C-alpha cells in the first residue's frame, strides 16, 4: 500500500488546512457555545469545492478521490468537528448516494446544486424506534398515481434543520422487511414536510440535528432513488462511505487534542521540570500518537480500496470503530495531561472531548461496527 500523496492530494489537503485554520478555527469555540449553524463558512466550503469533493466535475464537484476526501475531512475536523460532520454528511451520505444510484436527470437536477454547495443535503434513515435496527422503519410511502404519499417521523437528522434536500428512507409496507424499503429525494419546500426542534447536544453543537415529520407529503415518483424495495441496500452502501468520513472526523478531533497536549506538556512544569520530561506523560503521548496513526492507516486503506472500486464495508467499519474509540481515548488522555485546565470550558480539549463522544454512536455504534466486522469475517471464513 503506497501512501505517498500525489500533487493533487497534497494541494487539496493544504487548501482544506489553510481554510480550516484561517477561517473555521477562530469561530470554533464561539459556535460550540452558541450552537449556531455556521452557514457562512459552510457556504465558503461549498465555493472551495469541499462539499462536492468526490463528486464528478460534470455534476458540479471536484472529482477528487476518496483518499483526498479523508485528508480534507481530517483537516476541517481538526479545526471544528461540527464543520467536519456537515462536510462528511454532504459528501458521503448525500452526494455520493445520488451519484451512485441516481439517474442522469436526477444527478443534473439534484446533485449539481448540492455538490457545488448552493444547497444543503441531509440523509434520513433513523426513526424514534429504529436506530441500530435500521431496517425496522415505519415511515410509509403509498403510491398514488405519479406520486408517493409519505407519512411518518424520522429522528436525529444531521443538517435536518437547514436542509434543502433530504435522502429519505421509508417503506412501502412496515411489515415487509428490507425488501419493501425505498429511498426518495425530498425537496423540503414540499407541503406536508416539517422539522422539529433542533436537538440540544453534548458535542458537535454547531451541527444542526432535528426530527423530520411527513404528513401526507406528496413526493413525485421520479424523485425515487433506485428501485422500489431497494432502499435498505442503498442506505447500507452509502454508509460504507459515510463511515470513512466519520473515521476521518474522529482522527481530526484526536489530532487536535494531541497537538495541544504535546504543547502543554512542554510548557507546564511540575516537580522542577516540564511535565513532558515525566515518563507518565511521555507514555500517554506515545499511546495517543500510536492510536491516531493506526486510525489514519485503517481509514486511508478503506479509502484506497474504495478508489480501486473494491468492496470495503469491512474496512470502513474497522476504520470507524478504531478511529472513533481512539478519539475518545485520545481526548480523555488530553484532559488528563492538561489536568484542571483541561476540565475548563476555556480550554479547547474540553470541546474535543465532548465532540469525540458522538463518533462512536452515529453512522452505526461501535457495537454495530463489531457486528458488521464479525459477520463479514465469519462469512469469509466459511468461503475459505
Ligand atoms: N452494501 C449493500 N448491501 C448491504 C450492505 C452493504 N454495506 N450491508 C447489508 N446489505 C444487504 C445484505 O446483503 C442483505 O441483502 P439480502 O437481503 O439480499 O441478503 C440486506 O442488505 C439486509 O442486510 P442484513 O441482513 O445484514 O440487515 P440487518 O437488518 O441485520 O442490519 C445492520 C444490518 C448492519 C445492523 C444495519 O441495520 C446497520 O448498519 N445498522 C446501523 C444503522 C446506522 O448506521 N445508522 C446510522 C444512521 S445515519 C447517521 O447517523 C447519519 C448522521 O446523522 C451523521
Mean pLDDT rounded to a whole number for the chain: 97
Beta carbon of 364 within 6 Å of any ligand 1 atom: yes
Beta carbon of 234 within 6 Å of any ligand 1 atom: no
**Residue with CA nearest ligand 1 atom 34:** 372
Report angle CA 75, 307, 7 to the nearest 5 degrees. 55
Query: Which positions are annotated as active-site residues?
Result: 363
Distance (Å) from CA 134 to ligand 1 centroid: 7
Residue among 121, 236, 241 to mutate when testing ligand 1 (max atoms within 8 A of CB): 236
Distance CA 153, CA 160 (A): 12
CB–CB of 327/298 below 8 Å?
no
Confidence at 326, pLDDT banded by 50, 70, 90? very high
pLDDT for 142-165, tens place per residue?
999 999 999 999 999 999 999 999
Confidence at 383, pLDDT banded by 50, 70, 90? confident
> In which residue are the cell numbers 474522529 written?
250
pLDDT for 329-368, tens place per residue?
999 999 999 999 999 999 999 999 999 999 999 999 999 9
Give residue 381's pLDDT. Answer: 85
Beta carbon of 38 within 6 Å of any ligand 1 atom: no
Distance (Å) from CA 117 to ligand 1 centroid: 28
Backbone angles phi, psi at 226, to 5 degrees: 75, -165
Beta carbon of 361 within 6 Å of any ligand 1 atom: no
DSSP alpha helices (H): ranges in the chain?
7-19, 25-34, 39-48, 66-79, 81-88, 96-101, 104-106, 112-115, 231-267, 279-307, 313-338, 348-357, 366-383
Confidence at 3, pLDDT banded by 50, 70, 90? confident
Beta carbon of 124 within 6 Å of any ligand 1 atom: no
Give CA separation, 41 vs 19, 283, 331, in Å. Answer: 9, 38, 25
Mean pLDDT, residues 175-191 taken together? 97
In the chain, what are the domains? Answer: 7-120 (1.10.540.10), 122-229 (2.40.110.10), 232-383 (1.20.140.10)
Q: What percent of the chain has pLDDT over 70?
A: 99
**Residue with CA nearest ligand 1 atom 5:** 236
Give residue 1's pLDDT. Answer: 57
pLDDT for 246-259, tens place per residue?
999 999 999 999 99
Beta carbon of 158 within 6 Å of any ligand 1 atom: yes
Amino acid at each position: 500500500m503506497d501512501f505517498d500523496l500525489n500533487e493533487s492530494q497534497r494541494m487539496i489537503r493544504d487548501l482544506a488546512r489553510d481554510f480550516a485554520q484561517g477561517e473555521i478555527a477562530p469561530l470554533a469555540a464561539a459556535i460550540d457555545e452558541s450552537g449556531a449553524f455556521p452557514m457562512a463558512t459552510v457556504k465558503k466550503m461549498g465555493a472551495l469545492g469541499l462539499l462536492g469533493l468526490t463528486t464528478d466535475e460534470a455534476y458540479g464537484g471536484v472529482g477528487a478521490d476518496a483518499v483526498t476526501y479523508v485528508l480534507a475531512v481530517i483537516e476541517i475536523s481538526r479545526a471544528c468537528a461540527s464543520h467536519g460532520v456537515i462536510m462528511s454528511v454532504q459528501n458521503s451520505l448525500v452526494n455520493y448516494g445520488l451519484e451512485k444510484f441516481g439517474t442522469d436527470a436526477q444527478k443534473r437536477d439534484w446533485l449539481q446544486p448540492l455538490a457545488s454547495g448552493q444547497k444543503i443535503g441531509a440523509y434520513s434513515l433513523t426513526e424514534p424506534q429504529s436506530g441500530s435496527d435500521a431496517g425496522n422503519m415505519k415511515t410509509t410511502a403509498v403510491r398514488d398515481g405519479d406520486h408517493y404519499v409519505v407519512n411518518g417521523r424520522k429522528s436525529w437528522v444531521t443538517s435536518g434543520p437547514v436542509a434543502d434536500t433530504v435522502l429519505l428512507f421509508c417503506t412501502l409496507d412496515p411489515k415487509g422487511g428490507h425488501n419493501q424499503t425505498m429511498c426518495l429525494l425530498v425537496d423540503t419546500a414540499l407541503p406536508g414536510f416539517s422539522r422539529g426542534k433542533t436537538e440540544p447536544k453534548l458535542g458537535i453543537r454547531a451541527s444542526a440535528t432535528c426530527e423530520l415529520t411527513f404528513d401526507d407529503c406528496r413526493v413525485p415518483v421520479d424523485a425515487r432513488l433506485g428501485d422500489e424495495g431497494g432502499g435498505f441496500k442503498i442506505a447500507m452502501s452509502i454508509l460504507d462511505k459515510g463511515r470513512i468520513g466519520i473515521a476521518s472526523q474522529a482522527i481530526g478531533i484526536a489530532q487536535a487534542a494531541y497537538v495541544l497536549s504535546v504543547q502543554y506538556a512542554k510548557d507546564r512544569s511540575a516537580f522542577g521540570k516540564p511535565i513532558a520530561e515525566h515518563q507518565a506523560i511521555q507514555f500517554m503521548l506515545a499511546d495517543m500518537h500510536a492510536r491516531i496513526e493506526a486510525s489514519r492507516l485503517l481509514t486511508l486503506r478503506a479509502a484506497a480500496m474504495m478508489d480501486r472500486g473494491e468492496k470495503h464495508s469491512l474496512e470502513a467499519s474497522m476504520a470507524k470503530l478504531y478511529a472513533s474509540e481512539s478519539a475518545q481515548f485520545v481526548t480523555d488522555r488530553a484532559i488528563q495531561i492538561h489536568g484542571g485546565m483541561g476540565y475548563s470550558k476555556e480550554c479547547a480539549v474540553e470541546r474535543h472531548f465532548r465532540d469525540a463522544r458522538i463518533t462512536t454512536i452515529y453512522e452505526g455504534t461501535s457495537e454495530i461496527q463489531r457486528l458488521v466486522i464479525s459477520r463479514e469475517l465469519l462469512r469469509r471464513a466459511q468461503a475459505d
